[in-house]
Structures are given as structure tokens and as C-alpha cells.
Amino acid sequence: MSLRKPGGAVLVTGAAGYIGSHTVLALLREGHAVIALDDYSNAQRDVPTRVARLCAGDVQWVEADVRDQATVEAVLASQGVEAVIHFAARKSVEESCRLPLAYYDSNLIGTLRLLAAMEVSGVRRLVFSSSATVYDASQPSPVTETGRLSCASPYGRSKLMAEQIISDVVNSGRLDCVALRYFNPVGADASGKLGEDAATPPSNLMPRICLAAAGKSDPLQIFGNDYDTPDGTGVRDYVHVADVADAHVAALRYLAAGHGSAMLNIGTGCGTSVLQLLRTFTEVTGVDVPYTIEARRQGDVASLFADVSEARRMLDWSARRGLAEMCADAWRWARPDGDRALG
């Protein structure tokens, strides 16, 4: 019996990236047909094989840059696409300060061309991948969707500008969009066969914990233990990537039901400090993580976590996996003797 959902396929841009690939998997497991587009500029070429090993669904991989409007139009026209999930973007805060034009080119031009291709093709449902970096992090947490916005980097500004462009198109009556503002996605598929594997070295905490735990890097540098937080280290809202992926499936359901547009925080609603995360990681994996305390990292804030009541109310979605599962799954993927080998 086919599990395929009635209706058209879903186009996923940036499908081989971290959140993209887990979302493709979640869509396939839900019976959606997927067209998975990536240019592999910051993703591994074995991702399609990994996804295929985990789920024998209806997926077609297309190698293309989302800025290649003619190709995106051809894909949208030929495959009966009913909705698009747009991940394809550059995502390093630090790199964006060095290469602002590259960020605006990828993240803004990419979004503009995609929106134009959707308009030409008459596809009007979009799930957009945004980020909590659009919030002014000096405001008290939990932050709601109506919280103050202010971006400290070209990356953050590119996401906010893309949200604003999308919102103009929504207001013109030509598009319905659910924009998801992710807090701190971490972890990996529970199989240990799919996880975070960007071409560029990681700057985020969880992948760096894994590198230090595996002895593949110097000790973890903890950036500051003098913040105004319970233990002095930075507090964030870590959310399992599989829960983030499920939020996209829920957003598609919301759009298909004709509820219109929304802008939603995606997190757990819980703040966790660097030291708390380290402690949980060691409890769950049995591996000690060597670390040193360093100066604060420029641009970092003490505390940022989400109010997630809107996502619960509008999408009937909330994160199901806790911190222990995030650590266990991240390590199953990252550990040197782990399960990631395709065999």
C-alpha cells in the first residue's frame, strides 16, 4: 500500500543541509513526495544516500542553486509542486561579517528568485527558514514573536529582510507563508546515520562539544562564565533537529488547511546554560568533555530562549525530545566509533 499523500509534491531548497535533510526525512516518513534541491556548496554529497537508507520514500534530488530561477521554475512546473520549504541560505554569523555581499546574494537574491519562480508557477504555499537571531537579544526571555527585533550581523539582517520581503508578498495576496524562527537546533536522527555535517568548521556549541569529546579538537572553549545567569555561562534554547523538522510538516498542514500566514518561534521554551548542557552530555554519554573558560565571544548575549505558546496554539506542535535525547543523538552521530558509516 502506498503511503503517498494525495496532492502535489513539496519542493525543499537547501535539502542536503542540516535542518533540510532532517526535514526531507520527516516529510518522507509522513508520506509526502519530495523534490530535494541543493547545490552542495555547504553540504555533503552522501546525504541523498543517507536519507534513502532511512526511508524508501518518493524523493527526487536536483542539484541546483536556488538563484537559478529558470531551473526552479522548471522544477515547479514539471512536478506539480504544491508547497515549498526554503532552507537554502548561508548561515554563519561570523562569516557573514567578513563576506556580507555573499550573504545578501545567497539569502536575499535566493529568496527573491524563489518567490518570483513561485509566482510564475502559481505555487502559493511557503515555509520559510528564519532564525531567532532576528530578535534583539538584550530583551528579557522568553521572547515572543512580537518581541523587539534587531540584528547584530549581516546574517541576521539577511533573514529579517527576507522575512520582510515575504511579508510584503503575503500582504499582496499572492502567498501564504509560515516563517519559523529557530532557536538552537541540535542533535541528529536517532539512527545515527544522518546529522550535522557542514563543509565549513562548526562554530556552534553542540558540534564543538562533540569535537572536543571525540578528541578531534582542542578542549572546548567556554566563552564567558561571568554572565548574569545562574552559573555565569550563556543560556540558550536548544531544540532537537527532529522536532524542528516536525514543525515544518506541521506548518505544511497549517497552510494546506487554509489558515493563512504565521510567524512562529521554534524552540522548547527552556533555557539551558553551557555548563548544564555539558553536564547532561557527560551524564548521557559517559564522556568527559575537556574545556577551558575564555573571554566572552563578541556579539554574544547572556540569555535567549523562546516563548513557544504560539507554535503550540497555531500548529499544534511542540518539541517532544528533551536535552538528554539531544545529547545522545548528537553523540551517536558524531562519536568516532559511531553508527554513521553507510557500510
Question: Which residue in 135, 155, 238, 254 is the catalytic one?
Answer: 155
Contacting ligand UDP within 150-189 (CB under 6 A): 184
Which of 117, 179, 222, 327 contacts ligand UDP by CB under 6 A?
Answer: 222
Selected range binding ligand UDP among 82-90, 96-104, 111-119, 216-224, rule: CB under 6 A: 216-224
CB 35 within 8 A of CB 66: no
CB 142 within 8 A of CB 307: yes
> Residue 337 burial by CB count (10 A; 0-12/13-18/19+): exposed, middle or buried?
exposed
Place of cell 538563484: 67
Shortest gap between Cβ of 272 and ligand UDP (angstroms)?
9
In the annotation, is 155 catalytic? yes
Which of 41, 60, 191, 221 contacts ligand UDP by CB under 6 A?
Answer: 221
User: Closest CB to ligand UDP belongs to which residue?
Assistant: 234
Shortest gap between Cβ of 293 and ligand UDP (angstroms)?
9
d(CA 343, CA 340) in angstroms, rounded, equals: 9
d(CA 203, CA 284) in angstroms, rounded, equals: 23
Is residue 279 near ligand UDP by the rule CB under 6 A?
A: no
What size, in residues, is the chain?
Answer: 343
Q: How many CB atoms lie within 10 A of CB 323?
A: 22
Q: Measured from the CB atom, is 264 or 306 closer to ligand UDP?
A: 306
Is residue 303 near ligand UDP by the rule CB under 6 A?
A: no
| Grid cell at residue 231 | 552559573
Is residue 204 near ligand UDP by the rule CB under 6 A?
A: yes
Shortest gap between Cβ of 222 and ligand UDP (angstroms)?
4
Enter the DSSP assignment of 269.
S
Shortest gap between Cβ of 55 and ligand UDP (angstroms)?
28
Q: How many whole angstroms from its chain centre is CA 106?
A: 16
Residues 6+ apart with CB under 8 A from 86: 13, 14, 66, 110, 111, 114, 126, 127, 128, 129
d(CA 60, CA 75) in angstroms, rounded, equals: 11
Selected range binding ligand UDP among 112-120, 156-164, 187-195, 219-227, rule: CB under 6 A: 219-227
Shortest gap between Cβ of 158 and ligand UDP (angstroms)?
15
Q: Measured from the CB atom, is 110 or 156 closer to ligand UDP?
A: 156
Query: Which parts of this chain interact with ligand UDP (CB under 6 A)?
Result: 184, 203-205, 208, 220-223, 234, 236, 274, 297, 300
Q: Which residues are catalytic?
A: 155
